[in-house]
Chains A and B, each alone.
Chain A
Amino acid sequence: MAERSFAHEVGKLRMGLGQEFRGEGILAVTKALLQSGVGYVGGYQGAPISHLMDVLSDAQGLLQELGVHFEASASEAAAAAMLAASVNYPIRGAVTWKSTVGTNVASDALANVASGGVTGGALVIVGEDYGEGSSIMQERSHAFAMKSQMWLLDPRPNLESIVAMVEHGFALSEASNTPVMLELRVRACHVYGSFVAKDNRPPKFTLQDALDSPTRDVNRIVLPPANFLHEQEKIQKRWPAAIEYVRRNKLNEFLGGSAGEVGIIVQGGLYNTLIRALELLGLADSTGATDLPLYVLNVTYPLIDEEIVEFCRGKRAVLMVEEGQPEYIEQALNTILRNADVPTRVIGKEVLPRAGEYTGQVLQIGIRAFMRKYAAEQFAAATPLIPSQAAELPKEVQALAALLPVRPAGFCTGCPERPIFTAMKLVQRELGPLHISCDIGCHLFSILPPFNLGNTTMGYGLGAAGASAFNAPRNKRALAVMGDGGFWHNGLTSGVGNAVFNQSDQVLVVVDNGYSAATGGQDILSSRAVNRSKSTRHPIADAVKGVGVKWLRVIDRTYDVGRMRDVLREAMTAPEKGPKVILAASECMLNRQRRERPAFNKAVGEGKRVVRERFGVDADTCTGDHSCIRLSGCPSLTIRPNPDPLRQDPIAHVDNSCVGCGVCGEVAHAAVLCPSFYRAQVVFNPSKWDRFVSGVRKRVIQFLQRRADRRRMRYAF
């Protein structure tokens, strides 16, 4: 794995019965998996579940002791297919990924495993990346659960509830022979809290047991006629079994009061936000005590008809707090109540927004509208903690919004991907604007300022495929970008192989930074690092050549902007047909610094001669045009007020976070910018020779400088 160590977290995974576990939500899930006797875990990293993968990857020792197999899968599809091990054998397995993007990739395997059904508990943990801070399309995982008939858990966002739901998830899966999805929103994944741990349990039935005596049941395989049988079985056997388990174990909770004309039904994951909104409206206290009846759906699919009918009967209206759209639960409630002849009105998207995250503010507004209409007396008796107009901002504060600078995500200081896009900008100056098909990964930040490069992104590893339609005989070629993560995820086949097969005349830049960097720096097939538990160092160049690419250029130092630009130009204008692949390889600076910085500091401490490089800008010669920033965007390349009393525009400035990657100088050269940049080589613990040579130089230089100073003194004001 990457250079980051999770040894501290691994220690927490070893906690036993009665110990208090404190930590993040996703780490609690990891611990719950081990407490549940899981036999194997797989997944594909991505926020907000990367932590689960990273910690397990560092916990190889513990996993071996327990006999748990862990795999960093090549893709979500590969992870989902792992669940095949639970089809024939009573082995519990869990897989995880970022949703809905990962669920999209996994859905072929998920549909198959859901159709045939499982013997051992199969749990799919999805990090629901929805709302603030999300980087993906805003969709719901709920649809996947419904279409394949997998059960969907949405626990209240506290560690105890989350852990309990992991444990119930396996049992529910086994009781209903159905894979179960556990949905965790971003904040729940990162929530810090505590729960009382149990002992870890080794799996009862192991993978070795399965290999020693394999069993098969042709009725579990998705082939006619079994596939028709599966659909009948889902409806007639597995669904009722799930309902029975959920009811008997009271997975959904009836909280709050029992009287009154109205009630609220809420997805478990939104419970805390709901309570805060009720509290601020004066309808609950900070512990969640309220007179309003609440029905908390820790299981959002399937719904339990009897529980819903029981909750709604006798009420004028219920408020359905369901985030996202389409409003599947609200629609289902209406069907259930009509079928049961219960006239209770279901109010959901009528008072709550159809789209967007349900924040405390949004819920307050919705609940207020609901209560005023359906329980006006009860609402009038409540004293809100915050007057409703308090949230309204004065005009001058609203005006401030336009003034605040936007802060789009960008490449890190010293990122080796930045010069690739600088070179693209320079090539565009020569060839005119290009159509650029982007991918998923850090390199997607090229879309944002200051690069403003890229037309589309169609999904992970799909950069090259996204350019495949542009195989038209034209002088200009489409340019595609793909990261090494996306390359191994599926880009080798869907992008490179596809382009070779279809003789696509595109240019593909594969950004090889040595890690799946955007998801936290995990190792992949082509990583240069030696990994104890994985096989790495399989060059992308070999794979590209292996599928038949003839035109390949490898750049092993992307910081060389001039060369990068020349190779791009060559690829865009080469007479050869078919895909032209540029492999742009330099190590991710974030990971490199994690390794090199401590080593550097150690060497300095030991008195060894080491050289630190960094860049600077001469305030005297910088005229404040900021071309350099528009071509770089490095966080360490910033501005400061102009020290010159005559000049007004702020000047460029390199702050001390500079890692000396060299791009500033290369850009100044390649784009013929200005002579203001300088590279400083600071020699720590200089040798005797260093001191001698620099002493001589210093004396001569200072002699000349004193002479020039004297002249300047004569012409001083």
Chain B
Amino acid sequence: MHSERPISIAIAALGGQGGGVLAEWLVAVAELHGWMAQSTSVPGVAQRTGTTVYYVEMSPKPAPGRRSPVFALMPVPGDVDLVVAAELMEAGRTVVRGLVTPERTTVVASSHRVYGITEKSAMGDGIADANAVLSALNARARRLICFEMEAAADRHKSVISSVLFGAIAAAAVLPFSRGTYEQAISDYGVAVKANLAGFQAGFDQAMQSSPVAGWAPPSSAPTTELGRALDERIKREFPAHLHGILQEGVKRMLDYQDDAYADLYLERMTQIRSCDESVARLSRDFSLTNAVARYLALWMSYEDTIRVADLKTRSRRFERFRAEVRAGADQVVYVTEFMHPRFEEVCETLPAGLGSWFSNSAFARRLSAPLFRRGRHIHTAKLGGFVMLSLLAGMRRWRRSTLRYRVEQARIADWLERIRNLAAAPGGYRAAIEIAECQRLVKGYSDTHARGLKNYQTVVEAAERMRGRSDLADAIRQLRNAALADEAGLKLASVLSEVAPDG
């Protein structure tokens, strides 16, 4: 029987990534070369954020008198020569669908991520493990060409299809010359210059195939007198492997308030360290101190109105938003903040006595209600808005007298005490770390913050009730994860009734 088989190409893409254009270019390359080609797809509802696979087959024109090949309309597992993926997880999906086989399949994929809605809407970190996909690709592909193509496309103001197309040309799976590919882009006649630049970038980078660089935590050396003093104290009082995180913590305290606040932070950390030392005498990894260092810094730099105003008016922020919206040097950029201060936030910014009187006064609340009904638009790049926020940021010097400060410091003290008590109790060390991590539940602003705080309280109170149980640490972890599962608190309630039923 006839042995020449068509070359089969599956293109996995998300709606709007231009997978269709890539299929058209591939068909064009084949036809320019005198081959015959077929492409097809099932767009369906994939045109909006969904995924789709375009499928291309090509083969040389049959000799006169010979029959033409019968092209298939969909890829068959084990029978794909080239898989092209415009996103990392979609590359992973082709592996799961069996389209990537070690004997046959070259994979050309971009390593960038387009997050799925479930990853984006998670209440904490819902990002899927990219390394698992990368290692599966490495294990299953005959050859893998994988690098960050979105950035390259962006650099050349092109689309990812052109970079992929360049990488396909470099992969040399198809017996066509580079010029034919470029011809196909030119003939297509849309954004030719940008697409050729994207093609070139894809081609060059595929030839080099540089590995994806990992993230390394920055190490820092103090630059000021204050910094050096604090750094010395950290180095004197804490084990070496905690220096990095404590430096970050101290930095945050200085940035948030002043050196006295940084001292308070280190004081609290010293207490935790000695507690850690007395409990976990044998293991010297100070896991508890490590965890508290992170979460204490976050809690002590709680986001009050003063902090928000400070962050919003910084010069670095102005540079950042100009870069983020890609404003050219000759363009004017105005920003509008969407703020919705509530009665509660205003009370919290007042001196503690006054603030607590106000917040308990139904009359004051009713009287001022119209002021807080609507959100405010604040124009930070205009004088009125900027000066107002600057003045608010300047209230830092009176922060220690605000109601919010008093409330937060009491919460922090309570949290630290729970941690120390737990750690000191027999078998409570791991549970103490879990309680430390519960700070993660308290974040955001207004309703979000209130919800997080409520969940936090539910978890720590349940932990209190469960004191002495051998599975306490696991129970706390379960509760914490449940609190992050949904906004309505359904999962938390059900886990709660399971692990701590007397609540």
Task: Name A residues whose Cβ lies closer than 8 Å to a Cβ of B.
Answer: 47-48, 129, 131-135, 157-158, 186-188, 190-193, 271-273, 275-277, 279-280, 284-289, 359-361, 364, 385-386, 390-391, 393-394, 396-398, 400-401, 403-412, 442, 445, 448-450, 562, 614, 616, 618-621, 623-627, 629-630, 633, 635, 637-639, 641, 645-650, 656, 664-665, 668-675, 677-684, 686, 690-691, 694, 697, 700-702, 704-706, 708-709, 712-717
For B150, the closest partner residue in chain A by CB is A655
Q: Which of B126-161 contact A (CB under 8 A)?
A: 127-129, 132-133, 136, 139-140
Q: Is the CB of A697 within 8 A of B383?
A: yes
B32 at the interface (CB under 8 A from A): no
Q: Give min CB distance, B500 to chain A, whole Å.
A: 25
Interchain residue pairs with CB less than 8 A apart (25): A48-B43, A133-B45, A135-B44, A190-B40, A192-B24, A285-B1, A360-B76, A391-B98, A400-B136, A407-B49, A409-B47, A409-B49, A450-B120, A616-B321, A619-B320, A649-B440, A675-B338, A675-B340, A679-B338, A680-B333, A682-B333, A690-B332, A705-B314, A708-B393, A709-B315
Q: Is the CB of B338 within 8 A of A678?
A: yes
In the complex, besides A404-B93, A639-B127, A672-B446, 12 extra interface pairs with C-beta distance below 8 angstroms are A134-B44, A286-B5, A288-B67, A400-B95, A404-B128, A410-B48, A648-B124, A680-B321, A681-B333, A681-B335, A705-B315, A717-B223
Q: Which of B292-342 contact A (CB under 8 A)?
A: 294, 297-298, 303, 308, 311-315, 317-318, 320-321, 324-327, 330-340, 342
Q: Is the CB of A646 within 8 A of B326?
A: no
B109 at the interface (CB under 8 A from A): no
With A390-B78, A449-B121, A616-B321 in contact, do A623 and B249 touch (Cβ < 8 Å)?
Answer: no
The contact string, 1 if C-beta is below 8 Å from chain A, for chain B 82-100, is 0000000100110110100
Q: Give min CB distance, A13 to chain B, whole Å.
A: 19
Q: Which residues of A contact B351 (CB under 8 A)?
A: none
Q: How distant is the Cα of A142 from the Cα of B336 in the complex, in angstroms?
A: 59
A449 contact from B117, B333, B390, Cβ within 8 A: B117
For A448, the closest partner residue in chain B by CB is B117
With A705-B314, A715-B259 in contact, do A287 and B248 touch (Cβ < 8 Å)?
Answer: no
Q: Which residues of A contact B47 (CB under 8 A)?
A: 409
Q: Is the CB of B76 within 8 A of A276?
A: yes
The 5 A-B pairs with the shortest beta carbon distances in the complex, nearest first, are A405-B116, A669-B375, A133-B44, A133-B42, A360-B76
Q: Is the CB of B339 within 8 A of A675?
A: yes
A276 contact from B72, B140, B215, B230, Cβ within 8 A: B72
Q: Which residues of B contact A649 (CB under 8 A)?
A: 124-125, 440, 443
Q: Which residues of B contact A619 (CB under 8 A)?
A: 320
Q: Which residues of A contact B70 (CB under 8 A)?
A: 271-272, 275-276, 286-288
Chain B interface, number of residues (Cβ within 8 angstroms):
143
Q: Which residues of B contact A409 (CB under 8 A)?
A: 15, 45-50
Q: Which residues of B contact A272 (CB under 8 A)?
A: 70-73
Q: Is the CB of B89 within 8 A of A404?
A: yes
Q: Which residues of B contact A701 (CB under 8 A)?
A: 318, 381, 383, 386
Q: How distant is the Cα of A406 from the Cα of B49 in the complex, in angstroms?
A: 11
Q: Which residues of A contact B222 (CB under 8 A)?
A: 717
Q: How distant is the Cα of A691 from the Cα of B51 in the complex, in angstroms?
A: 45
Q: Give min CB distance, B260 to chain A, whole Å.
A: 11
With A406-B118, A407-B51 in contact, do A286 and B336 touch (Cβ < 8 Å)?
Answer: no
Q: Give min CB distance, A346 to chain B, whole Å.
A: 25
Q: Is the CB of B118 within 8 A of A716?
A: no
Q: Is the CB of A625 within 8 A of B452?
A: yes
Q: How distant is the Cα of A645 from the Cα of B123 in the complex, in angstroms?
A: 19
Q: Is the CB of A678 within 8 A of B226?
A: no
Q: How distant is the Cα of A275 from the Cα of B119 in the complex, in angstroms?
A: 41
Q: Is the CB of B42 within 8 A of A621?
A: no
Q: Which residues of A contact B324 (CB under 8 A)?
A: 616, 680
Q: How distant is the Cα of A573 from the Cα of B79 in the complex, in angstroms?
A: 60
For A694, the closest partner residue in chain B by CB is B332
Q: How distant is the Cα of A625 from the Cα of B121 in the complex, in angstroms?
A: 8
Q: Give min CB distance, A259 to chain B, whole Å.
A: 16
Q: Is the CB of B117 within 8 A of A717?
A: no
Q: Is the CB of A639 within 8 A of B119?
A: yes
For B447, the closest partner residue in chain A by CB is A672
Q: Is the CB of A646 within 8 A of B44?
A: no
Q: Give min CB distance, A378 to chain B, whole Å.
A: 14
Q: Is the CB of B255 within 8 A of A715?
A: yes
Q: How distant is the Cα of A45 from the Cα of B426 in the complex, in angstroms?
A: 71
B312 contact from A621, A633, A712, Cβ within 8 A: A621
Q: Is the CB of A404 within 8 A of B303?
A: no
B4 at the interface (CB under 8 A from A): yes
Q: Is the CB of B338 within 8 A of A273?
A: no
Q: Is the CB of A390 within 8 A of B390?
A: no
Q: Give min CB distance, B286 to chain A, whole Å.
A: 17
A716 contact from B79, B101, B227, B338, Cβ within 8 A: B227
Q: Is the CB of B227 within 8 A of A621?
A: no
Q: How distant is the Cα of A411 from the Cα of B327 in the complex, in angstroms?
A: 27
Q: Is the CB of A679 within 8 A of B120?
A: no
The contact string, 1 if C-beta is below 8 Å from chain A, for chain B 49-84, is 111100000010010001111111111111100000
Q: Which residues of B contact A645 (CB under 8 A)?
A: 217-218, 248
Q: Is the CB of A289 within 8 A of B67?
A: yes
Q: Is the CB of B390 within 8 A of A704?
A: yes
Q: Which residues of A contact B452 (CB under 8 A)?
A: 625
Q: Which residues of A contact B255 (CB under 8 A)?
A: 712, 715
Q: Is the CB of B140 within 8 A of A397?
A: yes
Q: Which residues of A contact B174 (CB under 8 A)?
A: none
Q: Give min CB distance, B165 to chain A, whole Å.
A: 17
Q: Which residues of A contact B208 (CB under 8 A)?
A: none
Q: How distant is the Cα of A627 from the Cα of B340 in the complex, in angstroms?
A: 15
Q: Which residues of A contact B43 (CB under 8 A)?
A: 47-48, 133, 190
A623 contact from B59, B95, B231, B444, Cβ within 8 A: B444
B220 at the interface (CB under 8 A from A): yes
A681 contact from B6, B249, B334, B374, Cβ within 8 A: B334
Q: Is the CB of B325 within 8 A of A708?
A: no
A638 contact from B39, B120, B259, Cβ within 8 A: B120
Q: Is the CB of A286 within 8 A of B332?
A: no
Q: Give min CB distance, B211 to chain A, whole Å.
A: 19
Q: Which of B273-294 contact A (CB under 8 A)?
A: 294
Q: Which residues of A contact B315 (CB under 8 A)?
A: 702, 705-706, 708-709
Q: Which residues of A contact B111 (CB under 8 A)?
A: none
Q: Which residues of A contact B140 (CB under 8 A)?
A: 397
Q: How distant is the Cα of A192 from the Cα of B44 in the complex, in angstroms?
A: 17
Q: Give min CB distance, B303 to chain A, whole Å.
A: 7
Q: Which residues of A contact B116 (CB under 8 A)?
A: 405-407
Q: How distant is the Cα of A160 from the Cα of B231 in the complex, in angstroms?
A: 79
Q: Give min CB distance, B441 to chain A, whole Å.
A: 10
For B71, the closest partner residue in chain A by CB is A272
B443 contact from A624, A694, A704, Cβ within 8 A: A624
Interface centre among B49, B315, B342 (most CB of A within 10 A): B49
Q: Which of B450-487 contact A (CB under 8 A)?
A: 452, 487
Q: Is the CB of A697 within 8 A of B121?
A: no
Interface centre among B74, B330, B440 (most CB of A within 10 A): B74
Q: Which of B377-399 contact A (CB under 8 A)?
A: 380-383, 386-387, 390, 393
B254 at the interface (CB under 8 A from A): yes
Q: Is the CB of A669 within 8 A of B338?
A: yes
Q: Which residues of B contact A562 (CB under 8 A)?
A: 374
Q: Which of B333-364 contact A (CB under 8 A)?
A: 333-340, 342
Q: Is the CB of B120 within 8 A of A629?
A: yes
With A404-B93, A627-B487, A705-B315 in contact, do A717 and B250 touch (Cβ < 8 Å)?
Answer: yes
Q: Which residues of B contact A361 (CB under 8 A)?
A: 76-77, 98
B258 at the interface (CB under 8 A from A): yes
B448 contact from A190, A449, A674, A715, Cβ within 8 A: A674
With A625-B452, A669-B375 in contact, do A391 and B78 touch (Cβ < 8 Å)?
Answer: yes
Q: Which residues of A contact B444 (CB under 8 A)?
A: 623, 625, 627, 673-674
B117 contact from A132, A410, A412, A621, Cβ within 8 A: A410
